């Protein structure tokens, strides 16, 4: 059954038959999948009063293990976003009472961010819903297909220059 990408490819075949637009078949589907996944993930996190970027930051702190504290520099390395984005997320999370910020007594130029008990409960709760949502999103693929896709996407990302030390996901 043709999808939206097939329709775009057919239009290009008609309008520019001399041009091989076959790369659009995969890239277009990856882009559409990203948009759909982003929307559905955001919807589940919104049920926990979290934006995806806020969850990402809370998850980085949670993954760090007890005492769930990281410097802003460590958060930047763990989430691979700009310092401006981190500042905005931190401001919102501090206002919600989910994290605290304090100057590192060992290095006055560094700021330490820590989960509050409320933040730990929030990320633990949201994580359960998030993982279940991701499981449902992947349901159209069986376990073998998911494994195959994981391997292919890993190879693709490596080919794009992602050395594996990039942004870990929650």
Give the whole-angstrom CA distance, residue 95 versus residue 12. Answer: 50
Q: Are 23 and 8 in contact (CB under 8 A)?
A: no
pLDDT at 84 over 90: no
104: closest CA among 78, 72, 68?
A: 72
Q: What is the mean pLDDT of the chain?
A: 93
pLDDT computed for residue 109 by the predictor: 86
Return the percentage of the chain with pLDDT > 90, whole number. Answer: 81
């Amino acid at each position: 059954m043709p999808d939206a990408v097939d329709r775009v490819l057919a239009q290009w075949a008609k309008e520019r038959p001399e041009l091989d637009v076959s790369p659009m078949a995969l890239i277009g589907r990856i882009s559409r999948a990203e948009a759909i996944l982003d929307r559905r993930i955001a919807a589940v996190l919104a049920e926990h009063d979290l934006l995806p970027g806020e969850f990402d930051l809370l998850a980085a702190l949670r993954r760090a293990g007890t005492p769930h504290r990281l410097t802003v520099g460590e958060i930047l390395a763990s989430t691979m976003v700009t310092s401006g984005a981190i500042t905005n997320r931190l401001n919102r999370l501090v206002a919600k009472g989910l994290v605290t910020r304090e100057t590192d007594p060992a290095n006055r130029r560094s700021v330490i961010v820590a989960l509050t008990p409320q933040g730990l409960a929030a990320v633990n709760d949201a994580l359960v819903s998030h993982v279940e949502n991701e499981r449902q999103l992947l349901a159209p693929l069986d376990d073998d297909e998911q494994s195959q896709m994981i391997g292919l996407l890993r190879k693709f990302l490596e080919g794009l220059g992602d050395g594996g030390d990039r942004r870990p996901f929650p």
